[in-house]
C-alpha cells in the first residue's frame, strides 16, 4: 500500500466532505418551523444510515468468517463494528443537540431513541466481548456468532418501536415530507459519510492486519528464543562432556 495509491481516494473523499458541508450549510433551504438547527439532519440521518451499512458489513463478514475461516474476515468484522459504533455515537450526540431547541428536552425515552441506544449498546458489548477472549481464533469464532445474532436483532428491535407511540419526526423520510430541494443535499451528505466510512474501515483493517503480523512475529521470536537457549544448553552440555 504505497502513499500514492492511498492519496487519490482520500482526496476524493475530502472533496466530497467539503461539498457536503457546503451544501448542508448554504445550499439546502432553511426549514420553515425548525429553522437552522434542522441542518443537523444532513449529518444525523446519514450517520445512522452509514452506521447501519457498517453493521451490515459486520454481519456479512461474520458469516464469511464462519464459512471460510480466513482471519481477514474477522479483521473486517471488528473494523466495521468499531466504525459503526463511532457513527452511532455521532447519531446519539447530534440527536439531543437537535432535540433541545425543537422538543425543548435533550432526551426522551421515546421508542426510536431508546432502540437506537439499545443498538449502540449491542455493538458496544460486541467490542467488549472481543476484549475478553484472548485466543485469536476463538475470539473470531464467538464474535462472529455474536455479530450475526446482533444483526438479526436489529430489525426486531426497530420493529418493536412501530407498535409504540413515538414523538420522533419519522414520516419525514419516505413519507414524501422532505422538500425536493433537500434530497440532493441529503444524498451528497450520505455519500460523503459513506466515503469516510470506507477510508476508516480500510485504515482499521490494515491496522488489524499489522497487529496480526506483529503477534505472529512475536510468537516466532519467542519460539526462536526457546530453541536457541535449548541449543546453547546442548553446547554447554557437550562441552561439559568433553
Partner 1 sequence: MSLARAAAIILSKELRAEFRTRELLNTTVVFVVMVIVLFSFTFDPSSAESRRFGPGLLWLAFLFAGSLMLHPSFAREQANDTLSALRMAPIEPFAILAGKVLANFLFLLLAELLLLPLFAVLYNVHVVPVLGRLLLVFVLGTLGLTTVGTVFSAVAAQARMRELLLPLLLLPALAPVLIASAETTAGLLGDPPRLDPNWLAILVAFDVVFLTAAWLFGEYLLEE
Tell the smallest beta-carbon distance from residue 154 to partner 1 (Å): 10
Supply the DSSP string of the chain, one letter for each residue: --HHHHHHHHHHHHHHHHHHHHIIIIISPPBTTTBGGGGGHHHHHHHHHHHHHHHHHHHHHHHHHHHH--HHHHHHHHHHHHHHHHHHHHHHHHHHHHHHHHHSSS----HHHHHHHHHHHHHHHHHHHHHT--SHHHHHHHHHHHHHHHHHHHHHHHHHHHTS---S-GGGTTSS-S-TTHHHHHHHHHHHHHHHHHHHHHHHHHHHHHHHHHHHHHHHHHHHHHHHHHHHHHHHHHHHH-
Give yes or no for residue 156 binding partner 1 (CB under 8 A): yes
Q: Which of these segments, 77-85, 120-128, 183-191, 214-222, binds partner 1 (CB under 8 A)?
A: 120-128
Q: Which of these segments, 49-57, 72-80, 151-159, 233-241, binds partner 1 (CB under 8 A)?
A: 151-159
Give yes or no for residue 70 binding partner 1 (CB under 8 A): no
Give yes or no for residue 40 binding partner 1 (CB under 8 A): no
Nearer to partner 1, 94 or 114 (CB): 114
Contacts (CB under 8 A) with partner 1, residues 130-149: 132-134, 138, 141-142, 144-146, 148-149
Give yes or no for residue 115 binding partner 1 (CB under 8 A): yes
Q: Which of 15, 105, 121, 223 binds partner 1 (CB under 8 A)?
A: 121
Q: Which of 27, 93, 105, 152 binds partner 1 (CB under 8 A)?
A: 152
Taking the mean position of all CA atoms in its chain, how far away is CA 135? Answer: 23
Give yes or no for residue 153 binding partner 1 (CB under 8 A): yes
Q: Which residues bind partner 1 (CB under 8 A)?
A: 66, 115, 118-119, 121-122, 125, 128-129, 132-134, 138, 141-142, 144-146, 148-150, 152-153, 156-157, 159-160, 163-164
Amino acid at each position: 500500500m504505497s502513499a500514492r495509491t492511498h492519496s487519490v481516494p482520500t482526496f476524493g473523499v475530502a472533496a466530497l466532505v467539503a461539498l457536503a458541508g457546503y451544501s448542508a450549510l448554504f445550499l439546502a433551504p432553511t426549514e420553515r418551523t425548525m429553522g437552522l438547527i434542522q441542518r443537523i439532519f444532513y449529518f444525523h440521518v446519514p450517520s445512522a444510515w452509514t452506521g447501519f451499512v457498517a453493521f451490515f458489513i459486520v454481519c456479512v463478514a461474520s458469516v464469511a468468517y464462519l464459512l471460510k475461516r480466513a482471519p481477514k474476515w474477522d479483521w473486517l468484522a471488528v473494523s466495521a463494528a468499531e466504525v459503526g459504533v463511532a457513527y452511532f455515537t455521532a447519531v446519539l450526540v447530534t440527536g439531543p443537540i437537535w432535540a433541545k431547541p425543537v422538543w425543548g428536552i435533550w432526551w426522551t425515552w421515546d421508542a426510536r431513541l431508546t432502540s437506537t441506544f439499545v443498538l449502540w449498546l449491542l455493538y458496544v458489548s460486541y467490542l467488549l466481548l472481543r476484549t475478553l477472549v484472548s485466543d485469536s481464533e476463538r475470539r473470531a469464532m464467538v464474535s462472529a456468532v455474536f455479530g450475526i445474532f446482533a444483526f438479526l436483532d436489529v430489525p426486531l428491535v426497530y420493529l418493536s418501536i412501530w407498535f409504540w407511540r413515538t414523538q420522533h419526526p419519522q414520516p419525514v423520510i419516505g413519507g414524501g415530507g422532505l422538500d425536493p430541494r433537500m434530497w440532493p443535499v441529503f444524498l451528497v451528505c450520505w455519500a460523503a459519510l459513506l466515503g469516510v466510512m470506507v477510508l476508516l474501515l480500510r485504515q482499521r483493517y490494515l491496522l488489524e492486519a499489522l497487529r496480526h503480523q506483529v503477534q505472529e512475529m512475536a510468537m516466532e521470536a519467542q519460539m526462536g528464543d526457546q530453541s536457541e537457549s535449548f541449543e546453547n544448553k546442548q553446547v554447554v552440555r557437550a562441552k561439559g562432556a568433553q
